[in-house]
Amino acid sequence: MFPPETQPIPPLGSMLESWHDRLRPGQREIADWTGGRLAVSAVPGAGKSTGMAVAAAIAIARHQLHAGKQLVIVTFTRSAAANLKGKIRTYLREFNLPMGGFTVQTLHGLAWSIARSAPSVSGISSDAVLMTMNQGHRLVRGTVEQWILERPELFQRLVEGQQFDGEETERLRRQAVLRTEVLPALALTVIQEAKKSGLKPEDVLRLQARSPDEYSVLAISAGLYQHYQQQLRSRNWIDYDEMMVAALRVLQNPACLEQWRSRVFAVFEDEAQDSSPLQTQLLEILSTHPETQQQNLIRVGDPNQAINSTFTPADPIFFRNFCDRCAEEETLAEMTQAGRSSTIILDAANFVLDWVNARAITEAKSLPFRTQHIMPVSFGDPQPDANPAPEGLGLEIHRPNDTFETVERIGDRVLELFENNPETSVAILVRTNDQGKFIASELKKLHGDAISIFEVGEQERRSHIPAEMMALLQFCDRPHSPDYLKNALAVLVRHKRIPQQDFNALVIEPEQFLYPSAIAPQPSDETQMAARVCRSLLKSRIELPLYQLIPFCAYALDYDQGELATSDKLADRILQQMAQQSQETSLGEMLNILGEIVISEQFEPVNGDAGDDQYTQGGQVTVITMHKAKGLDWDAVFIPFLHEAMIPGKLYVPQPAAFLGSFTLSEVARAQIRAEVHGDVLPNLVTAWKRAEELKQAEEYRLLYVAMTRAKRLLWMSAARRAPFTWSKPEGLGDRPACPVIPALLKQFPNCRR
């Protein structure tokens, strides 16, 4: 399969043979691979990284790879790359093999290396700057303003919406909603989806003619995309998606392609279910042998753990299609044995997979899950304590009266676990950070220091402190700016200092909101409260010395001790920098420095660094979102608050934007672009919205499946009969239907009801 210089294939040494014989089905197929395409569809806990690491070591030995001819291994995150690299090096040392025959990189890291290797071809200059997330958001805001100036007629059509009586205040409110919410969301979604699918602005514009609608959504999308690209070029910035496009330009140049291919023996990809079309194309080009035109490519992934596709351009259909093509070629391997969990937990996860697929009513090409059950490992498997004995029944399903009783039950069960074994690893998996904050707070009230709690969302909140301080101080500096007022109000609502309300109506006339005239209509209680808090911020600007403004804002947001310490650290850094740079100590100078910190994202919160080991320590309860829990596991996993409104949930239209109709422009555009990439007929607005909702619900069920498969010995699930309508107000309880999976599980596992 490979060119003559890699033949003959040397026999494996006895130690390599020993490791090979201990591999599971699916892992062994990777190790036996000698060329061509191979798809490996894995289940949670199947040992993907172990299989890839052993297979990489065997490939390096068999084909005598070296620094000039390497195995390229790509994965999705830096932490995964570091973990895989460490495992491969361990095996190479054990087998007494040289270390230079492989490289492990993230997809973006590989694309960056390729793009920078030939600046004249890629179009990326040597001094180009990779744009940060905050810079990207500012760029999008500028893009929206430019587009509005260029296409006022399309903007006016959006303002009119479904119905409009011409009232001036409502017109201004709608303009604010479009400028600050609807159009930025549309731009971000379309730019990501289009770029990672290989579509240019003119390609998106051509789609409009095939799917005309009342707003010309795709024409608006194309205009925003075009302005965004122009701004990127004018600033000599690139984003992550542009990096991938630039890398492909390099590989489409014959001389550059030959140079790269000469150094690449084969490509192994991990987490392939998260790849976009452009990323897949890059790996296929790079892995193609220059003489035989054969792709030497192994792609390993779990399509049932695709949980990023509704908010990133990752689309599980592409890896599923790759698996289907390889199945036709008889080059599909399945890694179905997993030793992580007790068998009853595997049974529960497999049941949910089958139950959801059986009830899926979808126009999409594929079911929510690939039909692939998790099986226990075979007798004699080398994994220590594989498929461990369950804790109690191993599966417990609760229906508490309310969410407060839910936390009480969790606390009692955790104490019982720690009493039996103080080093038990425990996690509470939540759908949102608000839920996590509620659980951590209630557990501390109930049990104090008796339970050690590590709330992961608390650290994420600390990382937002510079941006939150900037929002409040910008308002203090320019209170008449509608944008600055709206940003400040959003921060205050997030920290529950003022009630939720439609900010767009308040910021039309900032002075009238802050200091209403005697003849103005009586504002609502919520509006009066918001105005009082804003006036207190403005008063602090006048009465307090500069160095006390950040601490005052921190107290105004009711920060906890860790957040207060982080804000103090931020204030100290800004004051030191001001002292070093100039004699001026003004709020404007403070905002300049704070802006640099926010844009560069170079500020470390106090106690803000936690590796994966810290998440899974024994003797503590880790409160973490389901998304962040992917790739981790614990002895006992608690999944509370499983309600229908959250899983599977429904797409909703934010009330301020309801004047446009019963859909959002961003989700409609995403569904239309994906239909084009999949080769489907472009849907109209209503059908596109329906399809987007189906994809969202399928992903929510996959997210629940991921959460369930984090458990080793105990899986605890609950749906309280009464729960908050919104988790920003956890005390506001009402009757809430359970996630449909809960009654189905109770029927299937009646002995597990608690």
Domain-located, residue 348 = no
Q: Report the C-alpha gap between 387 and 376 in whole angstroms.
A: 6
Q: Tell me the residue type at 108.
A: H
Q: Report the C-alpha gap between 165 and 151 in whole angstroms.
A: 22
Q: Tell me the residue type at 694.
A: E
Q: Report the C-alpha gap between 509 and 615 in whole angstroms.
A: 47
**SS3 at position 72:** strand
pLDDT of residue 460: 75
pLDDT of residue 97: 82
User: b/e map of 218-238 (b: 16 or more CB within 10 Å)?
Assistant: bbbbbbbbbbbbebbeeeebb
Q: Are 313 and 197 in contact (CB under 8 A)?
A: yes
Examine the domain organization and report whether 632 and 548 are in the same domain. Answer: no
pLDDT digits (tens, 9 = 90+) for 113-122: 899 899 999 9
Domain-located, residue 513 = yes
Share of the chain above pLDDT 90, in %: 64
Q: Residue 12's pLDDT band (boundaries 50, 70, 90)?
A: low
Q: Report the C-alpha gap between 339 and 44 in whole angstroms.
A: 9
Range of the domain at 496: 461-600
**Which residue would you say has higher pLDDT here, 17 or 179?**
179
Examine the domain organization and report whether 657 and 743 are in the same domain. Answer: yes
Examine the domain organization and report whether 489 and 628 are in the same domain. Answer: no
Examine the domain organization and report whether 472 and 540 are in the same domain. Answer: yes
Cα 91-94-96 angle, rounded to 5 deg:
105
Q: Residue 194's pLDDT band (boundaries 50, 70, 90)?
A: very high
- Residue 105, strand partner residues: 74
Which segment of 1-5, 77-81, 311-315, 705-709 scores lowest on mean pLDDT?
A: 1-5
Examine the domain organization and report whether 196 and 333 are in the same domain. Answer: no
Examine the domain organization and report whether 594 and 641 are in the same domain. Answer: no
Q: Report the C-alpha gap between 321 and 49 in whole angstroms.
A: 22
Nearest to 150 by CA among 229, 232, 227, 235: 227
Show contacts of 521-526: CB within 8 Å, 24+ apart. Answer: 526/498, 526/499, 526/501
pLDDT of residue 458: 82
Q: Report the C-alpha gap between 443 and 238 in whole angstroms.
A: 45
Q: Is the dihedral of CA 507, 508, 514, 518 positive or negative?
A: negative
Structure tokens of 358? Answer: 């059986």
Torsion, Cα 199 203 209 215, to 10 degrees, reads 60
Chosen domain end from 235, 259, 288 = 235
Q: Are 62 and 265 in contact (CB under 8 A)?
A: no
Across 383-395, average pLDDT: 95
pLDDT higher than 90, residue 705:
yes
Q: Are 453 and 614 in contact (CB under 8 A)?
A: no
Q: Are 274 and 313 in contact (CB under 8 A)?
A: no
State yes or no: cis peptide before 8, omega within 30 of 0.
yes
Examine the domain organization and report whether 219 and 253 are in the same domain. Answer: no
Across 560-574, average pLDDT: 85
pLDDT higher than 60, residue 554:
yes
pLDDT digits (tens, 9 = 90+) for 339-382: 999 999 999 999 999 999 998 865 455 789 999 999 999 988 88
Q: Are 530 and 499 in contact (CB under 8 A)?
A: yes
Q: Are 444 and 453 in contact (CB under 8 A)?
A: yes
Q: Residue 124's pLDDT band (boundaries 50, 70, 90)?
A: confident
pLDDT higher than 80, residue 601:
no
Q: Report the C-alpha gap between 636 and 425 in whole angstroms.
A: 6
Domain-located, residue 700 = yes
Across 249-276, average pLDDT: 93
**Parallel, antiparallel, or unpaired: how do β-strands 297-301 and 37-42 relate?**
parallel
Q: What is the CATH number of the domain that holds 253?
A: 3.40.50.300
- Which residues have a Cβ under 8 Å from the Cβ of 610 and sit 6 or more positions away? 454, 456, 459
Q: Residue 575's pLDDT band (boundaries 50, 70, 90)?
A: confident
pLDDT of residue 311: 65
Q: Report the C-alpha gap between 597 and 593 in whole angstroms.
A: 6
Examine the domain organization and report whether 722 and 636 are in the same domain. Answer: yes
Structure tokens of 594? Answer: 């704070």
pLDDT higher than 90, residue 464:
no
Q: What is the CATH number of the domain that holds 519?
A: 1.10.486
Q: Are 120 and 85 in contact (CB under 8 A)?
A: no
Q: Residue 596's pLDDT band (boundaries 50, 70, 90)?
A: confident
**SS3 at position 539:** helix
**SS3 at position 618:** coil
Look at the block and give the residue holding tokens 């452009």.
278
Structure tokens of 60? Answer: 């390096």
Examine the domain organization and report whether 704 and 583 are in the same domain. Answer: no
DSSP conformation letters of 438-468: HHHHHHHHHHGGGS-EEEHHHHHHHHTHHHH
pLDDT digits (tens, 9 = 90+) for 467-496: 999 999 999 999 999 999 999 999 999 888
User: b/e map of 82-114 (b: 16 or more CB within 10 Å)?
Assistant: ebbbebbbebbeebebeeebbbbbbbbbbbbeb
Q: Percent helix, strand, coil in the chain (nearest 5)?
A: 55, 10, 35
pLDDT higher than 50, residue 9:
no
Q: Are 694 and 364 in contact (CB under 8 A)?
A: yes
Structure tokens of 349? Answer: 């996860």
Domain-located, residue 123 = no
pLDDT of residue 6: 38
Examine the domain organization and report whether 165 and 205 are in the same domain. Answer: yes
Q: Residue 333's pLDDT band (boundaries 50, 70, 90)?
A: very high
**SS3 at position 235:** helix
pLDDT of residue 600: 66
Q: Residue 610's pLDDT band (boundaries 50, 70, 90)?
A: very low
pLDDT digits (tens, 9 = 90+) for 276-325: 888 999 999 999 988 888 999 999 999 999 988 766 667 788 899 999 99
Cβ atoms within 10 Å, residue 696 = 17
* φ/ψ bin of 83: left (φ > 0), alpha (ψ from -120 to 50), beta (otherwise): alpha
pLDDT digits (tens, 9 = 90+) for 639-680: 999 999 999 999 999 999 999 999 999 999 999 999 999 889
- Based on its alpha-carbon atoms, the radius of gyration of the chain, rounded to whole angstroms, reads 28
Q: Are 24 and 335 in contact (CB under 8 A)?
A: yes
Structure tokens of 397? Answer: 């399903």
Examine the domain organization and report whether 164 and 226 are in the same domain. Answer: yes
pLDDT of residue 116: 86
Domain-located, residue 173 = yes
- Residue 264, strand partner residues: 70
Domain-located, residue 713 = yes
Q: Report the C-alpha gap between 209 and 202 in whole angstroms.
A: 12
pTM: 0.88
pLDDT digits (tens, 9 = 90+) for 492-539: 998 889 998 888 889 999 999 999 988 888 889 999 999 999 999 999
pLDDT of residue 10: 47
Share of the chain above pLDDT 70, in %: 94
Q: Are 41 and 61 in contact (CB under 8 A)?
A: no
DSSP conformation letters of 359-382: H---SSSS-SS-S---BPPPTT-S
Domain-located, residue 382 = no
DSSP conformation letters of 31-52: HH--SSEEEEEE-TTS-HHHHH
Provide φ and ψ at 511, rounded to 5°.
-65, -40
Chosen domain end from 176, 205, 235 = 235
User: How deeply is 196 buried, as exposed, middle or buried, from its count of CB atoms within 10 A (0-12, 13-18, 19+)?
Assistant: buried
Q: Report the C-alpha gap between 60 and 623 in whole angstroms.
A: 41
pLDDT higher than 70, residue 7:
no
Nearest to 465 by CA among 609, 624, 608, 614: 608
pLDDT higher than 90, residue 143:
yes
pLDDT higher than 70, residue 11:
no
* φ/ψ bin of 47: left (φ > 0), alpha (ψ from -120 to 50), beta (otherwise): left
pLDDT of residue 582: 61
Examine the domain organization and report whether 252 and 227 are in the same domain. Answer: no
pLDDT higher than 90, residue 545:
no
Q: Report the C-alpha gap between 214 and 536 in whole angstroms.
A: 45
Quote the mean pLDDT of the chain.
90
Q: How far apart are the first and last CA of the chain?
A: 58
Nearest to 714 by CA among 400, 388, 463, 331: 388
Domain-located, residue 13 = yes
Q: Are 3 and 291 in contact (CB under 8 A)?
A: yes
- Overall number of domains in the chain: 4
pLDDT higher than 90, residue 685:
yes
pLDDT higher than 50, residue 34:
yes
Chosen domain end from 572, 600, 628 = 600
Q: Are 196 and 241 in contact (CB under 8 A)?
A: yes
Look at the block and give the residue holding tokens 């290797």.
117
**Parallel, antiparallel, or unpaired: how do β-strands 297-301 and 722-724 relate?**
unpaired
